[in-house]
Structure 1
Amino acid sequence: MTSRVLLVSPAMSASLRQARFDDGGSLDDGGAAQARSAAGSLPTAARVLVSPSVRCRETAAALGLDGVPAADLAGLAVGRWRGRTLDEVGAAEPEAVARWLTDPACAPHGGESVRDLCGRIARWLADARAVEGRTLAVVEPDVVRAAVVEALNLPAALFWRLDVPPLTVTELGGRAGRWNLRLGRPLAGPEAD
């Protein structure tokens, strides 16, 4: 059986632009327009899923996708840091941020650790492997990072070394118990050439 998982990162939003932990904000006008211009550029899929965040749901809608919300694909839960910028948190809690960025088991914000997120996404990938055909999911950048870490069996400490640009596709495919990776294809715009 061959399974394919296409992970689409959300279009640009003010939160992404400001390096703000998800605050439930919408896509900005430019991000929404870019996503609309990419509508129809994705292949058909056996199932379409979407992270529960506003920016992922709006990206899916702008792409013309009727995705099913998937709680397992939620972004990293950052507890009391939600809605704040990384700079704000770093100024208020520099030691906590330093630990969080270097220790994947650390969750000083009271939410989920990077290791916990990677484990959650590993379980989701195992389930996705059992689905024949293509699964397309619009997900937060940290979910893409966790999927890459798990698919390639990388140390969780490399999680923060993976950059996920807005509105790109990361594709996992494979058989026989392993994943192959195709990274960061832009959906639309001049970078797609």
Structure 2
Amino acid sequence: MDWVLKKGAISVSNRLILISHAPTAATRSPAFPRDEPLDAHGLADATALAGALPRADDVRCGPALRCTQTATALGLTPAVDEGLRDGELGRWAGRTLDDVAADEPNAVAAWLTDPAAAPHGGESLHDLLDRTGGWLRAVPDKGRTVIAVTHPMVIRALVVNAIAATPASFWRIDIAPLTKTVLRGGAGRWTLRATASPLR
């Protein structure tokens, strides 16, 4: 059993298992996805992994179709959690990074280097980190196992928050589809146990 310090006391820590949704047509492109379903291969891959996850006290997923479909295919019955929604990329949704970079090179450069920039009209990296940081702080400190099916951007942001890394670290974290990232802790003290490891 794991433990975490909390204001001079010791309490049982949570296990937070973050699952990256299965592939879609956009994520295979790669493109910034809209709210689209899993592609046939992604759905089959997720279905083949049903039963691979441990029993959880709480199961959540982002509201996007690709998250709810992944959770269902994995044999989970999640509660939809708006705090796990994908980063909002405004007018870039549905387009590839190469296309956007060709049309708006200065905007892409700003997005990749300035955490406060939101040239696409959606969320800035600061906004995403603030939102996911609030979600992480709200995880009850009860020594529970929580499974959350969400997006690579959200998982990267949660890792940055968990280990108190700089915003620039966000771009150095790679989260593949249908992988798990595991955090342990609570009460503002988290440890990164595994990043983008296979579900089985």
Fold match by TM threshold 0.5: yes
SS in 1 for 2:34: coil
Residue 81 of structure 1 corresponds to which residue in structure 2? 92
Query: Cα deviation per residue 1:164-187 (whole Å; 9 max; x = unaligned)?
Result: 011000000025642111212211
Q: Is the 8 A contact 2:32 2:95 kept in 1?
A: yes
SS in 1 for 2:165: coil
Q: Distance in 2 between matches of 1:60 and 1:176?
A: 27
The alpha-carbon deviation at position 19 of structure 1 amounts to 2.0
Larger Rg: 2
RMSD, aligned CA: 1.3
Query: 1:1-193 counterparts in 2 under 5 A?
Result: 1-175=12-186, 177-181=188-192, 182-188=194-200
Query: Cα deviation per residue 1:146-181 (whole Å; 9 max; x = unaligned)?
Result: 011000101011111111011000000025642111
The alpha-carbon deviation at position 130 of structure 1 amounts to 2.8
Structure 2 regions of 5+ residues with no counterpart? 1-11
Q: Distance in 2 between matches of 1:111 and 1:175?
A: 30
Q: Which runs of 4+ in 1 moved over 6 A?
A: none
Q: Which amino acid aligns with 1:97?
A: V
Query: Cα deviation per residue 1:3-32 (whole Å; 9 max; x = unaligned)?
Result: 111100011111111121121221111111
Structure 1 regions of 5+ residues with no counterpart? 189-193
Which structure's residues are more often strand, by fraction? 2
**In the comparison of the two structures, how many residue pairs are matched?**
188
Q: Distance in 2 between matches of 1:169 and 1:56?
A: 14
Which structure's residues are more often helix, by fraction? 1
